[in-house]
Amino acid sequence: MSTAKAARFAIGDRVRVLDLDKSGHVRIPAYVRGKCGKIVQYCGKYLNPEDLSIGKTSGPAFDLYRVEFTQASLWDEPRNQSQDRLIIEIYDHWLTAA
Amino acid sequence: MHNDHENHSHEDHDHQHEDHEALVVEDDAGNLESQIIIDALQDVLISKGLLTAPEVTKEIEKLESPGVHLGAKVVVKAWKDSEYKQRLLSNGKSAIQEIGVAVGEAQIVVVENTDTVHNLITCTLCSCYPRSILGQPPSWYISKAYRARAVREPRKVLSEFGLDLDEDIQLIVHDSNADMRYLVLPMAPDEAAQLDSHDLEALVTRDRLIGVSR
């Protein structure tokens, strides 16, 4: 039994979403891959949907974060205002420090 | 599989719109393809004694009984009780369970609209929705057009819903892609203190709880 490891990122940390070359039940949409954002919430540990979708229910569980992006960093869309944001959940293995 | 373009050509329409996304595939007699498969599966499971028809009916009832009235109850409680509102914003699931509503989701994240902030909920990858407290999502919520556009051009989407958001207001889009589910806490009306809960609940529409209305 391993002891609970502290989460890698804290609220306010800058992170980049990795562009992992994974197939299957991946829950990280293409539009945030490679993009930089900020951790705004730690959600706890959750089983990885990439594993669950193929019947692997024994774990390991991954830290899940809510990550905030400026809309300007995601889209070239003139109606988005500079203060507009998008928040999405990202599992730890899809994140790196930015 | 029927894909009946003869009876449903795009030329029949006089307005521009996205390509159709087939939500159901039915034949000319109205049989749903998925329903035929499910009926056959159910027959097999019942004949093998793994399932009974009343069990299936009970599960369907369980799925269909939640509705917007539960979300409205949560919101009105938060409008009337500021301490409850704080608990709701810090842990949605436990605060919702506190008033006797069963929550099947791992967590409900409640996001608050204010004079300066508006929140909008979508699920770009599928149809994630806080079903325990809002019931089943509307068909537009699971359409590819809404899912793609709500993240990319949310202000345009809102204006099509009739909400022209002031440019100074911060718009936060929440993509419900993983384990959390989201509920918008709309702003209380000025006269909230004078109105009773029943009247207030009537003001809390599904669209306000998704954020396509303010």
Residue-wise pLDDT tens digits, B192-208: 989 999 999 999 999 99
The strand pairing partners of B120, in sequence order, are B173
CATH code given to domain B68-210: 3.90.330.10
Please give the Cα distance from B52 to B57 (Å, whole number).
Answer: 9
Cβ neighbours of residue B167 closer than 8 Å, sequence gap 6 or more: A81
**Given A79, A83, A88, which is nearest B170 (Cβ)?**
A83
Asked whether the beta carbons of B180 and A87 are under 8 A apart, the reply is no
Q: Is residue A43 part of a domain?
A: yes
pLDDT at residue number B8: 43
Contacts of B175 in chain A (CB under 8 A): 29, 86-89
- Show the beta-strand stretches assigned E in B46-145: 107-112, 117-122
B209 token code pair = 């709880």
Asked whether the beta carbons of A33 and A52 are under 8 A apart, the reply is no
B91 token code pair = 């842990």
Q: Is B94 considered catalytic here?
A: no
Please give the Cα distance from B187 to B181 (Å, whole number).
Answer: 20
Cβ–Cβ contacts within 10 Å for residue A31, how many?
18
Interface test with B, best of A46, A67, A79 (most B CBs within 10 A): A79
Please give the Cα distance from B162 to B213 (Å, whole number).
Answer: 8
Question: What is the H or E stretch that residue A88 is in?
Answer: strand A85-91
Using one digit for the tens of pLDDT, what is the confidence trace for A46-90? 999 999 999 999 999 999 999 999 999 999 999 999 999 999 999
CA angle A51, A53, A55 (to 5 degrees): 75
Q: pLDDT 10s per residue in chain B (214 long)?
A: 344 444 444 444 444 444 555 566 677 777 788 888 999 999 999 999 999 999 999 998 888 889 999 999 999 999 999 999 999 999 999 999 999 999 999 999 999 999 999 999 999 999 999 999 999 999 999 999 999 999 999 999 999 999 999 999 999 999 999 999 999 999 999 999 899 999 999 999 999 999 999 9
The strand pairing partners of A14, in sequence order, are A38
pLDDT at residue number B21: 54
| Domain coverage including residue A79 | 14-97
B163: three-class secondary structure by DSSP:
coil
Q: Is residue A74 part of a domain?
A: yes
Using one digit for the tens of pLDDT, what is the confidence trace for A15-55? 999 999 898 999 999 999 999 999 999 999 999 999 999 99
pLDDT at residue number B19: 52
Taking a contact as any Cβ pair under 8 Å apart, which residues of chain B between 100 and 139 contact chain A? 106-107, 109, 124-125
Instruction: State whether the Cα torsion B20-B25-B27-B28 is positive or negative.
Output: negative
Residue A1 has pLDDT above 90, yes or no: no
Residue B25 — φ and ψ, nearest 5°?
A: -115, 115
Q: Do A46 and B178 touch (CB under 8 A)?
A: yes
Please give the Cα distance from A89 to A75 (Å, whole number).
Answer: 18
Q: Is residue A68 part of a domain?
A: yes
CATH code, domain with A26: 2.30.30.50
Q: Is residue A2 part of a domain?
A: no
Q: Which of B34, B90, B126, B159 is catalytic?
A: B126
What's the number of domains chain A is made of?
1
**What are the residue ranges spanned by the domains of chain B?**
10-64, 68-210
The residue with greater pLDDT, B23 or A7, is A7
CA proximity to B123, closest of B177, B180, B179, B178: B177
pLDDT at residue number B171: 98
Q: Do B167 and A49 touch (CB under 8 A)?
A: no
